[in-house]
Amino acid sequence: MDIELSPQDAAFRDEVRTFLRDYLPAEVKAGAAATPSVFVEPEIGQAWNAVLNKQGWLGYQWPAEHGGTGWTPLQRYLFEKECAAAGAPNLTVLGLKLLAPVIYNFGTDAQKAEVLPRILSGEDYWCQGFSEPGAGSDLASLKTRAVREGDHYRVNGSKIWTTHAHHANRMFTLVRTNTEVKKQAGISFLLIDLDTPGVSVRPILTNAGDHEVNQVFLEDVMVPAENLVGGEGDGWTIAKFLLENERGGSCHAPKLGYDLDQIEAAAKDESDGKGGILADQTDWRRRVAKARLSVNALEMIELKIISEIAKGRKAGPQTSLTKLLASNLRQEIDLLAVDLYGPAGLQLETARPLYGDNAPAAVHSKAAQVASARYLNSRAWTIFGGTNEVQSTIIAKSVLGL
């Protein structure tokens, strides 16, 4: 694997860097810095999506024939790395990175023509209906039932931990269409309009204090049969394809590295005239160095996967490895932030009595105010997209042959 950039790739990187400098709105960057969860609020994320769509870069992971950029795997990586370094928000992946590849790989021509342009335009905001009470990591045990009645499916059941369902107007979901076969063989993939009668969304407020996830209830919801993606019983195959994209569809190291950079800079802040807060403590430096080495190692693994994809090979179970490593690192880095800011990480007013009017600039930053919320929110990283235990099992079976 050659990690030196060609002149063409270096020029592409510089083009992206210049674009971000000129067109990343300050309010979007500020919104990303103040976001405690994985996804920014739609008014921030959709504003950034619109900027990228105008540039023709929003579907940067899509093939050109489906409205994407047709960029190489390395160009996609460079774009993500520059976006992370510029402080841009995470793109809302549910439509762009999870559903879109399903549609252009498994969907009908009519579905491609309807769904893909509306993702890019922002007309449709998607959520993902996979997990259920009692069927999260054991997704094959899902019970939401879809019964064919003429040219519609009657759907009954519920989905839980549904991110941004309170903002979304559409949901892609797994339903059980056959109860007489093996569990995995009876699952299908269905697109549901959330304004259909019988759909209700109930908020779930987390310990972090945010409203990011929900429970969605489906009571006699009539869904057109044309909204079935693939055939009946293809849902498990499509879900495995989608989950590989969820686990490895983005490079995690650039964003983790950016967040670690911010923490290091804040730790060295000497604006109070008393020197760094933790920068001179040996244990702190050791923890930061360990995290930095782990981020660098993850980046090398991700670049190796990119190299394999560029040769026409599938990422496969390696995405479980990157998901496992990134989840643990996310939690380690968020804990560093909590330890750095201490009570200042709760709210700014709490910090003033501790530091006085000459508090370090780090204390006054948005990062301090969201540190605890991010730490609490990131507890979910080792659960969503498949728990650490699930990823370890996949690695053991697929890579180690155990």
Q: How far apart are CA 77 and CA 356, in angstroms?
A: 43
Residue 187 vs residues 142, 231, 233, 236, 240: alpha-carbon distances, Å: 8, 10, 5, 6, 12
Please report the sign of the dihedral spanned by the C-alpha atoms of residue 155, residue 161, residue 166, residue 169: negative
- Spatial CA neighbour of 129 closest among 111, 151, 114, 144: 144
Residue 169, φ and ψ in degrees, nearest 5: -110, -10
| Active-site residue (options: 80, 82, 212, 246) | 246
246 is catalytic: yes
Please report which helix (H) or strand (E) contains residue 148, including its range.
Answer: strand 145-149
For residue 179 the two structure tokens come to 């109860």
- The DSSP code for 209 is S
Task: Dump the DSSP string for 63-113.
Answer: -GGGTS----HHHHHHHHHHHHHHTPPPP-HIIIIIIHHHHHHHS-HHHHH
| Residue in this structure with the two tokens 């643990």, named with its chain if needed | 328
State the virtual CA torsion across 145, 146, 149, 153 in degrees, nearest 10: 140
Instruction: Name 32's Cβ contacts closer than 8 Å, sequence gap at least 6.
Output: 40, 44, 87, 88, 89, 90
Radius of gyration for the chain, computed over Cα atoms and rounded to the nearest angstrom: 22
> CA 116 from chain center: how many Å?
19
Write out the catalytic residue numbers: 246
